[in-house]
Structure 1
Amino acid sequence: MATVKVKFRASSVKTKEGALYYQVIHDRLARQLRSGYKLYPSEWDTERSKVILPSGIEEGRRYYLLSVKAALDNGLARFKELIAWLEHGNMPYTADKVLELYASPTEYGGFITYARKLIGELKQIGKICTAETYTTALNSFVRFHGERDLLFEEMDSNRMVQYETYLKENNVCPNSTSYYMRNLRAIYNRAVEEGLTGQRNPFKHVYTGVDKTVKRAVPLKVIRRIREADLTQTPAMDYARDLFLFSFYTRGMSFVDMAYLKKKDLQNGVLSYRRQKTGQQLFIKWEKPMQEIVDKYDTSGTSYLLPIIKDMKMDARRQYKNAAHLVNDKLKKLGERLGLGIPLTTYVARHAWASIARSKNIPLPTISEAMGHDSENTTRIYLASLDASVVDKANSLILKSL
């Protein structure tokens, strides 16, 4: 593996400054590159290869020496990242190649190149959700930074604070900002684990927490208005409304779980499925309103229960994502037509079920079990799993109230 050090070459004239240069050694071959900085011998510690600040120096000279020290540290970090990249890729290289790449850093790539490569690898091994979240965060960052690649050493706390300011100026909410930061941090940390860069903690001064959001629930009377709205002239909106109601009927089932329901999941009057998010298995007593929606659509050509993934030959996840976008767009328009004070989305159905259940004095543990909490810490609070019949009774009580 190549090594790199900073060396000092004194001037032949004792009263003049000497030059600082980088020395790269690989396979016993040494190559040198000028740093562009000069110092007096008294300002350099040859044994430790470090800039020193002699006592009694002028303030201006002191600031210059500090800037030289910072620049040399950054230069060494760049060299080490470049060498780590070459070693990680098992690429044959020479000391000359290291200097060549140092002079043209875009050839070996930095954070953005690494992130895109990582996303591609995640897709190849089936980690589609992670790849999509990383892509969303990276796209946001690229809109701020531009397409020019970013050396890992440039991923510092100042840049991330600037990015956070950019997001605030574009009215991005704190939770979305945190979402981008957490995913970018995950990408960066993977690079650190692979030895491509050192840990500089660039996210230490930006927000990466989760604010409590204002929940968007609607009361039972609004659910009735949504159910009873005449949408015969707008089939796409009618379709969106049906999926919204199906989510509500099934205790706020998430859209992704609805999309992947199979016909075989419905047996002997019980719908069973595992949450895509947590893997938790849930059981729901099949009710008449659910059957009415299923009967309304022809799904004979697929193994899926609902008309979301419609073509067995096409990518299922792409169909689910497209359907989710369409449904939420139509629900938003439906909400505007009904004069609702909040944007209507599939998420509203999930939270509405929980809020209405609570208003019916259904115990919180029952609601938690019914919805399949995605937090293990939360579900542990409720100890053992509740009897499914208790949950089904709660759901029946809500549906009969419609």
Structure 2
Amino acid sequence: MATVAIILNTAKKLSNDEHPITLRVTHNYKRRYYTINGLLTNQSIKFRCRPEYWKPPEAEDNGLGRLRKMFIGFKEANSILEVKLQEAYAILKRYDEQQISFNFDQFELDLKKKEIPVVTSLQEYYSQQIAILEEQGRVGLAGLYFEVQRILNKFKPNAILLDVNYRFLESFEYWLRNERKNKDTTISVKMRNLQRVINQAIEDKFFKAEDYPFGEKKYSINKRLDSKTKKIAITLDKITKLKALNLPPDSWLYLAQQYFLFSYYSRGINFVDISYLKWSDISNTHINYVRRKTRGQFEVPINQHNGTILNYFKENYKVPGGFVFPILDITIHVTLKQQYTRKKTALSAVNHALKKLAEQIDEPSLKLTTNVGRHSYATGLKRSGANTSYITEALGHATQEQTQTYLDEFEKGVIESWENKMFDV
């Protein structure tokens, strides 16, 4: 009788030192190998790996080799391998029961007649996407995927990709709003992430395009959710009071105050870019940096306010890696993931300190965050008399990049004259 096993065919070498995972069929000392990918369609999982990712079958495994945990999507892949092996055993059992002589060609025809249904869990697919993003160094986006995956696991832990339809999305929105007490902006972020995952699943042939649940005539994120973040700006008198606070140097309160003011006086530079700012980005007259989020280039003039802050940190801090501010330390925060975690915890600490500062200027109800400095810059610029075609609610209804586009349309002297009025220079 013929025998079957799922093995890693190390006799056949592929690129990256990988080998194909195959179904090996043995009969009368002859062998044939059928690649798992060759037996399947609509599969994005590549059944190939290096030897260290593979666990060969032992006697008690009945011929079932398995992928180790280090293989991305190992659970789903192993379940497919098990089904294919059982399918092969079922064919051999039928031959035996019906007394059909074994023939390699007939076996291959029978084997390829039936395709296993692809059932992909939502959690497993998210894990695959997270692993890919981390491999690409996109740790910030991977963090968002992980957070949405965690929430979906609480909502429907056993959901498969094909469960994501209009009803699913409607129910998820209701659950987020009523059980999690999320606002529209937060729900919108999660829904857009799920939409992105479904788009990828369609590309990977795990989800049919005709079943796509998003869109204007289906589940429309834009129509159902108000995703505009409320922009909060504070007036010049509050910024003056914040600046006048006499705080212990090097304390978190002092650092939070300086980061906030630096953002305000530097055209709303955000906290992530402040974290990565290096002395090599700074000339005698300008700060030149590339925004981490979009890779857009920015040029900010040095004025007496942000210049004073820069001078203080130059005189008092020597941060490894040439960073201006003591947020990242490349001797500690080596990997991108470590840097991402550090930025996140530092931002949380700064925003917590800013709340304390709001209390110190007798504004306990003021929601002071690093973002408020960015929006206060735009609002102050409008109040200084800047042309509305330049500002046009730039930080209130558009993106940071559109604001920079508006800035580039004006001569530097004109922009700086508006800033001088606003900063009272």
Same fold? TM cut 0.5:
yes
Tell me what 1:319 maps to.
Answer: 342
Tell me what 1:59 maps to.
Answer: none
Match of 1:96 among 86, 90, 93: 86
The residue correspondences of 1:39-118 to structure 2 (distance < 5 A) are 88-90=45-47, 94=84, 96-97=86-87, 109-118=120-129
1:154 aligns with 2:173: no
Alpha-carbon spacing, 1:211–1:277, altered in 2? closer, same or farther (3 Å): same
> What code does the residue aligned with 2:326 have?
P
Contact kept? 2:391, 2:403, Cα under 8 Å: no
> What code does the residue aligned with 2:353 have?
K
> What code does the residue aligned with 2:288 have?
S
Contact kept? 1:369, 1:391, Cα under 8 Å: no
Contact kept? 2:289, 2:297, Cα under 8 Å: yes
1:153 CA displacement: 2.2
Partner Cα separation in structure 1 for residue 374 and residue 329 of structure 2: 24
1:97 CA displacement: 4.8
Alpha-carbon spacing, 1:329–1:269, altered in 2? closer, same or farther (3 Å): same
Partner Cα separation in structure 2 for residue 129 and residue 330 of structure 1: 23
Match of 1:305 among 306, 318, 324: 324
Partner Cα separation in structure 1 for residue 88 and residue 153 of structure 2: 27
Alpha-carbon spacing, 1:95–1:152, altered in 2? closer, same or farther (3 Å): farther
1:205 aligns with 2:219: yes
Tell me what 2:268 maps to.
Answer: 252
Question: What does the per-residue CA deviation read over 1:52-106, in whole Å, with 9 as the maximum and x for residues that have no partner?
Answer: xxxxxxxxxxxxxxxxxxxxxxxxxxxxxx9657563337663735999xxx99x
Match of 1:269 among 281, 285, 288: 285
Partner Cα separation in structure 2 for residue 258 and residue 233 of structure 1: 19
The residue correspondences of 1:364-383 to structure 2 (distance < 5 A) are 364-367=388-391, 374=399, 382=406
Partner Cα separation in structure 1 for residue 120 and residue 344 of structure 2: 31
Tell me what 1:17 maps to.
Answer: none
Moved more, 132-141 or 252-261: 132-141
Alpha-carbon spacing, 1:83–1:115, altered in 2? closer, same or farther (3 Å): farther
1:392 aligns with 2:382: no
Partner Cα separation in structure 1 for residue 43 and residue 130 of structure 2: 20
1:375 CA displacement: 6.7
Tell me what 1:71 maps to.
Answer: none
Question: What does the per-residue CA deviation read over 1:195-250, in whole Å, with 9 as the maximum and x for residues that have no partner?
Answer: 01223223433634554343211100010111112333992111111100110110
Tell me what 1:345 maps to.
Answer: 369
Alpha-carbon spacing, 1:383–1:325, altered in 2? closer, same or farther (3 Å): closer
Contact kept? 1:227, 1:241, Cα under 8 Å: yes
1:196 aligns with 2:196: no
Tell me what 1:34 maps to.
Answer: none
Tell me what 2:68 maps to.
Answer: none
Partner Cα separation in structure 2 for residue 98 and residue 289 of structure 1: 75
Identity of aligned residues (%): 25
TM-score when normalising by structure 1:
0.68
Tell me what 1:132 maps to.
Answer: 143
1:378 CA displacement: 7.3
Alpha-carbon spacing, 1:377–1:271, altered in 2? closer, same or farther (3 Å): closer
Alpha-carbon spacing, 1:120–1:85, altered in 2? closer, same or farther (3 Å): farther
Query: Could you say what secondary structure the match of 1:282 adopts?
Result: strand
Query: Could you say what secondary structure the match of 2:134 adopts?
Result: helix
Contact kept? 2:234, 2:372, Cα under 8 Å: yes
Partner Cα separation in structure 2 for residue 367 and residue 280 of structure 1: 18
Contact kept? 2:243, 2:261, Cα under 8 Å: yes
1:165 aligns with 2:174: yes
Tell me what 1:334 maps to.
Answer: 357
Partner Cα separation in structure 2 for residue 384 and residue 350 of structure 1: 18
1:354 aligns with 2:365: no
What is the CA RMSD across the aligned residues, in angstroms? 3.5
1:270 CA displacement: 1.3
Alpha-carbon spacing, 1:234–1:172, altered in 2? closer, same or farther (3 Å): farther
Contact kept? 2:253, 2:353, Cα under 8 Å: yes
Contact kept? 1:283, 1:388, Cα under 8 Å: no
TM-score when normalising by structure 2:
0.65
Partner Cα separation in structure 2 for residue 108 and residue 165 of structure 1: 26
Partner Cα separation in structure 2 for residue 325 and residue 319 of structure 1: 10
Tell me what 1:184 maps to.
Answer: 194
Gaps of 5+ in 1: 1-26, 28-81
Partner Cα separation in structure 2 for residue 112 and residue 85 of structure 1: 19
1:345 CA displacement: 0.3
1:186 CA displacement: 0.5
Contact kept? 2:383, 2:422, Cα under 8 Å: no
Contact kept? 1:113, 1:149, Cα under 8 Å: no
Tell me what 2:98 maps to.
Answer: none
Alpha-carbon spacing, 1:219–1:340, altered in 2? closer, same or farther (3 Å): farther
Query: Could you say what secondary structure the match of 1:267 adopts?
Result: coil
Alpha-carbon spacing, 1:234–1:275, altered in 2? closer, same or farther (3 Å): closer
Partner Cα separation in structure 1 for residue 169 and residue 342 of structure 2: 35
1:348 CA displacement: 0.3
